[in-house]
Amino acid sequence: MDSINRYRIELERIEQEFDFDEPSGNPRFQLPQDVGHREVLDYANKYGIKHAIELRDALAVCKGVFKESIHLIDIGCGPALTAEVVREAGITVRSYFGIDHSPAQVWLARQVNPQANFTTDLAVVPMIREPALVVMNHICAQENVSEEHLSRWVQDLVRIIPNGFHVLSIEPLMNTPKQDRFVSLLKEFGHASSVVVDKRTPGQFRYEKQTKVIKVEGSNI
Protein backbone atom coordinates (compact mmCIF):
# COMPACT_ATOMS: atom_id res chain seq x y z
CA MET A 1 0.00 0.00 0.00
CA ASP A 2 1.43 3.39 -0.95
CA SER A 3 1.63 6.41 1.34
CA ILE A 4 -1.42 8.15 -0.10
CA ASN A 5 -3.72 5.19 0.52
CA ARG A 6 -2.26 4.73 4.00
CA TYR A 7 -2.97 8.40 4.61
CA ARG A 8 -6.62 8.03 3.60
CA ILE A 9 -6.98 5.25 6.18
CA GLU A 10 -5.29 7.42 8.83
CA LEU A 11 -7.71 10.28 8.19
CA GLU A 12 -10.62 7.86 8.60
CA ARG A 13 -9.16 6.80 11.96
CA ILE A 14 -8.91 10.41 13.14
CA GLU A 15 -12.48 11.06 11.98
CA GLN A 16 -13.71 8.20 14.13
CA GLU A 17 -11.48 8.91 17.14
CA PHE A 18 -12.33 12.59 17.71
CA ASP A 19 -15.73 14.07 18.46
CA PHE A 20 -15.76 17.34 16.50
CA ASP A 21 -18.11 20.14 17.48
CA GLU A 22 -18.31 21.45 13.91
CA PRO A 23 -20.24 19.52 11.26
CA SER A 24 -18.45 18.13 8.23
CA GLY A 25 -18.73 20.44 5.23
CA ASN A 26 -17.07 21.97 2.21
CA PRO A 27 -13.64 23.32 3.28
CA ARG A 28 -12.20 26.54 1.92
CA PHE A 29 -9.43 26.14 -0.64
CA GLN A 30 -7.22 28.59 1.29
CA LEU A 31 -7.51 28.18 5.04
CA PRO A 32 -7.10 31.10 7.48
CA GLN A 33 -4.86 30.89 10.51
CA ASP A 34 -7.78 30.46 12.93
CA VAL A 35 -9.43 27.55 11.11
CA GLY A 36 -11.04 24.82 13.24
CA HIS A 37 -10.07 21.17 13.60
CA ARG A 38 -13.08 19.88 11.65
CA GLU A 39 -12.30 22.01 8.61
CA VAL A 40 -8.62 21.04 8.47
CA LEU A 41 -9.67 17.39 8.42
CA ASP A 42 -12.13 18.09 5.61
CA TYR A 43 -9.38 20.04 3.81
CA ALA A 44 -6.97 17.11 4.12
CA ASN A 45 -9.51 14.76 2.55
CA LYS A 46 -10.53 17.10 -0.26
CA TYR A 47 -7.29 18.94 -1.09
CA GLY A 48 -4.36 17.61 0.93
CA ILE A 49 -4.31 14.23 -0.79
CA LYS A 50 -4.39 15.90 -4.21
CA HIS A 51 -1.46 18.15 -3.25
CA ALA A 52 0.46 15.03 -2.22
CA ILE A 53 -0.18 13.47 -5.63
CA GLU A 54 1.10 16.67 -7.27
CA LEU A 55 4.23 16.46 -5.13
CA ARG A 56 4.77 12.86 -6.23
CA ASP A 57 4.49 13.92 -9.88
CA ALA A 58 6.90 16.81 -9.32
CA LEU A 59 9.50 14.59 -7.68
CA ALA A 60 9.35 12.29 -10.71
CA VAL A 61 10.89 15.02 -12.91
CA CYS A 62 13.61 15.78 -10.35
CA LYS A 63 15.36 12.41 -10.27
CA GLY A 64 19.05 12.74 -9.50
CA VAL A 65 18.79 16.39 -8.44
CA PHE A 66 18.66 15.89 -4.67
CA LYS A 67 21.04 14.07 -2.35
CA GLU A 68 20.08 10.50 -1.46
CA SER A 69 19.86 11.43 2.24
CA ILE A 70 18.48 14.78 3.35
CA HIS A 71 16.90 16.79 6.14
CA LEU A 72 13.44 17.95 5.09
CA ILE A 73 11.73 21.29 5.85
CA ASP A 74 8.10 21.49 4.73
CA ILE A 75 6.79 25.08 4.60
CA GLY A 76 3.00 25.02 4.64
CA CYS A 77 2.97 21.37 5.68
CA GLY A 78 -0.81 21.19 6.03
CA PRO A 79 -1.85 17.61 6.82
CA ALA A 80 1.77 16.39 6.64
CA LEU A 81 2.10 13.79 3.92
CA THR A 82 5.25 15.28 2.38
CA ALA A 83 7.83 13.16 4.20
CA GLU A 84 6.27 9.86 3.14
CA VAL A 85 5.98 10.96 -0.50
CA VAL A 86 9.64 12.04 -0.50
CA ARG A 87 10.68 8.69 0.98
CA GLU A 88 8.73 6.84 -1.71
CA ALA A 89 10.77 8.76 -4.29
CA GLY A 90 13.85 6.94 -2.97
CA ILE A 91 15.20 9.71 -0.73
CA THR A 92 16.15 9.02 2.88
CA VAL A 93 14.62 11.62 5.20
CA ARG A 94 16.98 12.01 8.15
CA SER A 95 14.78 14.54 9.94
CA TYR A 96 11.53 16.30 9.15
CA PHE A 97 10.24 19.71 10.22
CA GLY A 98 6.71 20.72 9.21
CA ILE A 99 5.70 24.38 9.40
CA ASP A 100 2.17 25.73 9.11
CA HIS A 101 0.67 29.04 10.23
CA SER A 102 -2.47 27.32 11.51
CA PRO A 103 -2.39 25.66 14.96
CA ALA A 104 -5.23 23.38 13.82
CA GLN A 105 -3.16 22.18 10.84
CA VAL A 106 -0.26 21.49 13.21
CA TRP A 107 -2.65 19.56 15.46
CA LEU A 108 -3.75 17.35 12.55
CA ALA A 109 -0.17 16.87 11.36
CA ARG A 110 0.79 15.61 14.83
CA GLN A 111 -2.08 13.14 14.81
CA VAL A 112 -0.82 11.75 11.50
CA ASN A 113 2.91 11.85 12.33
CA PRO A 114 3.38 11.91 16.12
CA GLN A 115 7.14 11.29 15.84
CA ALA A 116 7.82 14.27 13.55
CA ASN A 117 8.52 17.91 14.39
CA PHE A 118 5.85 20.55 13.76
CA THR A 119 5.66 24.25 14.52
CA THR A 120 3.91 27.43 13.42
CA ASP A 121 7.23 29.31 13.20
CA LEU A 122 10.07 28.44 10.79
CA ALA A 123 12.49 30.51 12.87
CA VAL A 124 12.56 27.93 15.70
CA VAL A 125 13.84 25.07 13.50
CA PRO A 126 17.36 24.13 14.71
CA MET A 127 20.42 24.65 12.53
CA ILE A 128 21.04 22.02 9.85
CA ARG A 129 24.60 21.65 8.54
CA GLU A 130 24.00 18.62 6.32
CA PRO A 131 22.17 18.34 2.94
CA ALA A 132 18.62 19.67 3.14
CA LEU A 133 15.54 19.97 0.97
CA VAL A 134 12.87 22.64 1.48
CA VAL A 135 9.44 21.83 0.03
CA MET A 136 6.95 24.62 -0.74
CA ASN A 137 3.90 22.94 -2.28
CA HIS A 138 1.17 25.38 -3.35
CA ILE A 139 2.33 27.96 -0.80
CA CYS A 140 3.49 31.04 -2.72
CA ALA A 141 0.12 31.23 -4.49
CA GLN A 142 -1.79 31.51 -1.21
CA GLU A 143 -3.47 34.90 -0.87
CA ASN A 144 -2.31 35.32 2.73
CA VAL A 145 1.37 34.89 1.78
CA SER A 146 2.88 38.36 1.52
CA GLU A 147 6.22 39.83 0.47
CA GLU A 148 7.05 39.97 4.16
CA HIS A 149 6.46 36.22 4.52
CA LEU A 150 8.70 35.44 1.55
CA SER A 151 11.49 37.71 2.84
CA ARG A 152 11.34 36.23 6.31
CA TRP A 153 11.42 32.66 4.97
CA VAL A 154 14.48 33.42 2.86
CA GLN A 155 16.32 34.94 5.81
CA ASP A 156 15.34 32.12 8.17
CA LEU A 157 16.32 29.39 5.70
CA VAL A 158 19.80 30.70 4.96
CA ARG A 159 20.40 31.07 8.70
CA ILE A 160 19.07 27.60 9.56
CA ILE A 161 20.83 25.85 6.64
CA PRO A 162 24.12 27.76 6.19
CA ASN A 163 25.83 25.19 3.95
CA GLY A 164 23.44 25.31 1.01
CA PHE A 165 20.17 23.54 0.19
CA HIS A 166 17.57 22.86 -2.50
CA VAL A 167 14.06 24.30 -2.63
CA LEU A 168 11.31 22.37 -4.42
CA SER A 169 8.54 24.85 -5.28
CA ILE A 170 5.26 23.67 -6.85
CA GLU A 171 2.64 26.26 -7.83
CA PRO A 172 -0.38 26.53 -10.15
CA LEU A 173 0.73 27.49 -13.64
CA MET A 174 -1.63 30.49 -13.68
CA ASN A 175 -0.26 31.95 -10.45
CA THR A 176 3.55 31.96 -10.31
CA PRO A 177 4.64 35.62 -9.67
CA LYS A 178 5.32 35.02 -5.97
CA GLN A 179 7.17 31.81 -6.83
CA ASP A 180 9.43 33.90 -9.07
CA ARG A 181 9.68 36.56 -6.37
CA PHE A 182 10.96 34.00 -3.87
CA VAL A 183 13.75 33.10 -6.31
CA SER A 184 14.68 36.76 -6.83
CA LEU A 185 14.69 37.47 -3.08
CA LEU A 186 17.39 34.85 -2.55
CA LYS A 187 19.62 36.80 -4.91
CA GLU A 188 18.61 40.19 -3.49
CA PHE A 189 19.69 39.04 -0.05
CA GLY A 190 23.06 38.11 -1.54
CA HIS A 191 22.76 34.32 -1.71
CA ALA A 192 24.13 32.61 -4.82
CA SER A 193 21.31 30.55 -6.27
CA SER A 194 20.07 29.17 -9.56
CA VAL A 195 16.98 27.41 -10.92
CA VAL A 196 18.07 23.89 -11.91
CA VAL A 197 14.62 22.47 -12.74
CA ASP A 198 11.79 24.47 -14.32
CA LYS A 199 9.07 22.22 -15.75
CA ARG A 200 5.34 21.84 -16.06
CA THR A 201 3.98 18.90 -14.11
CA PRO A 202 0.46 17.42 -13.84
CA GLY A 203 -2.09 19.19 -11.65
CA GLN A 204 -4.98 17.61 -9.75
CA PHE A 205 -7.04 20.78 -10.02
CA ARG A 206 -7.87 23.09 -12.91
CA TYR A 207 -4.31 24.01 -13.90
CA GLU A 208 -1.01 22.29 -14.48
CA LYS A 209 1.78 22.98 -11.99
CA GLN A 210 4.99 24.92 -12.44
CA THR A 211 7.66 22.89 -10.68
CA LYS A 212 10.95 24.62 -9.90
CA VAL A 213 14.02 23.47 -8.03
CA ILE A 214 16.22 26.27 -6.73
CA LYS A 215 19.77 25.43 -5.72
CA VAL A 216 21.15 27.69 -2.99
CA GLU A 217 24.91 27.36 -3.11
CA GLY A 218 26.98 26.05 -0.23
CA SER A 219 29.46 23.36 0.74
CA ASN A 220 26.73 20.67 0.79
CA ILE A 221 25.47 21.39 -2.75
pLDDT tens column, 129-152: 999 999 999 999 888 899 999 999
State mean pLDDT over 115-120: 94
Sequence length of the chain is 221
Please report the domains of the chain, with CATH numbers, ordered by start residue. Answer: 3-216 (3.40.50.150)
| Single-letter residue type at 77 | C
CA distance 38 to 33: 14
**Predicted model pTM:** 0.94
pLDDT digits (tens, 9 = 90+) for 36-47: 889 999 999 999
Give me the phi and psi of 210, to 5 degrees please. -100, 110
Specify the pairing of strand 209-216 against strand 193-201: antiparallel
CA distance 63 to 70: 14
Q: Which helix (H) or strand (E) holds 112?
A: helix 103-112
Orientation of helix 3-17 relative to helix 103-112, angle to 10° = 110
